[in-house]
Amino acid sequence: MSGQPFSVYCVGGAVRDRLLGLPVQDRDWVVVGATPEDMAARGFQPVGKDFPVFLHPDTHEEYALARTERKTAPGYKGFVIHAAPDVTLEQDLLRRDFTVNAIAEDANGKLIDPYGGKADLHAGILRHIGAAFAEDPVRILRAARFVARFGFSIAPETLALMRAMVENGEVDALVPERVWQELARGLVEKAPSRFITTLRECGALAKILPEVDALFGVPQPLNYHPEGDCGAHTLLVLEDAARHDYALEVRFAALMHDIGKGNTPKDILPRHIGHEARSADLLRALCERLRVPTECRDLGLLAARHHGEVHRAKELRPDTIVRLLQGCDAWRRPERFSQLLQVCASDARGRTGHGNDAYPQADYLLRALHAAQAVNAGEIARQCEDKNLIAGRVRLARIVAVEHAIQSA
């Protein structure tokens, strides 16, 4: 066992959140002055291939040797890691993204804050530490995510650097999986619309989600949309979904449901005839590009195609309602249909002056779904001598059930 002493510090998000008075979920630790052999001798288990990280033998928390990083190639990957006993705590903190994430705490509770993170935390400012920030374009997405989580503002020099990174093509090198990972995290933050507006402000939205960026500046009929702008409406819908604490799938669909309005022919504006089909086509390609999980993709496509029908639910004939339920696979996936109704409710409320509106279409269609589900398809099949007629008779029985449910309501 090595006799070399070393120091351990709690760093990053755990220190930041404690100073903000927020619950601390996970703690990250940095070890200064140690070698891998020192860690192994004390029972730490090595993990990770790119740089020395170890699991504590009792708590299983991660302990990383102090390190420096240097970019060697464009893109998200391509860093040379230097982890050695001579790397200081200040050098390790320097490689981090923002000053508020570069505060350390020693075993006695003393803060080590070489880059002014505590002052920026107090002022609610997100500020990059050094020029190395530009070496990792993921940090643009992280900046937007922290703005959405904490309500921070971005320091002017940091925003200028983010814009320069976009203009230099850094964002173009991001791998799809990482873009989706950060997008998903951003959408479930407290104020996801600020995630989108921050990306737009630095120019990254046009690179990452051009279909969403194209919505801004596109007019809508003022009698339905007092906010006028398609992009403004989308942000209101997303904020409503966040205010009701809807799941990631719902928030993603809320963001994507109207993207077809971004390429509406100019000669028919401010109307958006046929935008549902255009939205679905664009969304299908977007999901393939970013490798969006199936659950998010499928709900997004349902919302893109059917939100207009759902809004008009009380105008639909019973047979049209059954066709809508069938098209949404509501018999087998009623929970996903309920999520579709959440998207549509946020769409209806996501308009200036309509944030507290009721959405009776949801109860109306759920009542219809429950009535249709009560139809005993198996019994109908047993009583039908001609098997070719089964599907038609089941459908007819569901139409009748829906009609009765609507009339009784």
Total H helices, total E strands in the chain: 19, 11
**Is residue 348 within a helix (H) or strand (E), and if so which, with residue range?**
helix 334-349
Using DSSP bridges, classify how beta strands 53-55 and 62-65 pair: parallel, antiparallel or unpaired. Answer: antiparallel
As beta bridge partners, residue 30 has 9, 64
Of 103, 120, 137, at which residue does a domain stop?
120
- Residue 45 belongs to some domain of the structure: yes
Q: Let me know whether 143 and 61 are in one domain.
A: no
Whether residue 177 sits in one domain with residue 140: yes
Q: Are residues 103 and 9 in the same domain?
A: yes
| Within a domain: 405 | no
Among residues 158, 184, 208, the one where a domain terminates is 208
Mark whether 176 and 109 lie in a shared domain: no
Q: Which of these three, 71, 86, 120, is where a domain ends? A: 120
Q: What is the C-alpha to C-alpha distance for residues 99 and 121, in angstroms, rounded to an integer?
A: 8
* 97 and 22 share one domain: yes
Task: Find out whether 112 and 105 touch, Cβ atoms under 8 Å.
Answer: yes
What does the pLDDT profile of the chain (409 residues) look like in tens digits? 344 568 999 999 999 999 999 999 889 999 999 988 888 898 998 886 666 899 999 988 999 999 887 665 544 455 677 778 888 999 999 989 999 999 999 999 999 999 999 999 999 999 999 888 998 999 999 999 999 999 999 999 999 999 999 999 999 989 999 999 999 999 999 999 999 999 999 999 999 999 999 999 999 999 889 999 999 999 999 999 999 999 999 999 999 999 999 999 999 999 999 999 999 999 999 999 999 999 999 999 999 999 999 999 999 999 999 999 999 999 999 999 999 999 999 999 999 999 999 999 999 999 999 999 999 988 888 888 788 888 899 999 999 999 999 988 7
Q: Is 408 exposed, middle or buried (0-12, 13-18, 19+ CB in 10 A)?
A: exposed
Strand partners, 128: 98
Is 281 inside a domain boundary?
Answer: no
Check residue 49 and give its pLDDT: 67
Distance separating alpha carbons of residues 361 and 176, to the nearest angstrom: 37
Determine the residue type at 334: P
DSSP 191-214: -HHHHHHHHHHTT-HHHH-HHHHT
pLDDT in the model for residue 390: 87
Residue 386 in any domain: the answer is no
> What is the predicted pLDDT for the residue at 72?
58
| 85 occurs within a structural domain | yes
Q: Is there a domain that residue 71 lies in?
A: yes
User: Is the domain of 33 the same as that of 146?
Assistant: no
Asked if residue 33 is part of any domain, the answer here is yes
Whole-model pTM? 0.91
What is the total count of domains within the chain?
A: 2
For residue 173, give the CATH number of its domain: 1.10.110.30
Residue 257 belongs to a domain:
no
For residue 217, give both structure tokens: 């500046």
Q: Give the residue carrying structure tokens 């320069």.
A: 164
Position 1 scores a pLDDT of 34
Per-residue confidence (pLDDT) for residue 3, from 0 to 100:
47
In this prediction, what percent of the chain has a pLDDT beyond 70?
95
Domain that holds residue 191: 124-208
CATH for 78: 3.30.460.10
DSSP letters spanning 125-191? EE-B-SGGGGG-THHHHHHHHHHHHH-PEEPHHHHHHHHHHHHTTTGGG--HHHHHHHHHHHHTSS-
